[in-house]
Amino acid sequence: MSTERTLVLLKPDAVQRSLRGEIIRRIEAKGYDIVALSQRTATKEELAAHYAEHEGKPFYDPLVTYMAGGPIVALVAEGENVIKGFRSLAGGTNPTEAAPGTIRGDLGREWDAPVIQNLVHGSDSVESADREIGIWFPNL
Question: Is 87 annotated as a binding-site member?
Answer: yes
- Which positions are catalytic? 121
Q: What is the pLDDT of residue 1?
A: 67
The CATH fold assigned to 3-136 is: Alpha-Beta Plaits (3.30.70)
Q: Could you read off the pLDDT tens digit of each residue along the chain, which spans 140 residues?
A: 689 999 999 999 999 999 999 999 999 999 999 999 999 999 999 999 999 999 999 999 999 999 999 999 999 999 999 999 999 999 999 999 999 999 999 999 877 777 889 999 999 999 999 999 999 999 99
Question: Is 86 annotated as a binding-site member?
Answer: no
Q: What is the pLDDT of residue 44?
A: 92
Distances (CA, A) of 38 to 2, 12, 71, 106: 25, 13, 10, 24
Question: Is 25 annotated as a binding-site member?
Answer: no
Among 4, 11, 9, 50, smallest CA distance to 31 is for: 4
Among 31, 121, 128, smallest CA distance to 75 is for: 121
pTM: 0.94
Among 107, 86, 83, smallest CA distance to 95 is for: 107
Distances (CA, A) of 49 to 36, 66, 117, 122, 131: 19, 15, 20, 15, 9
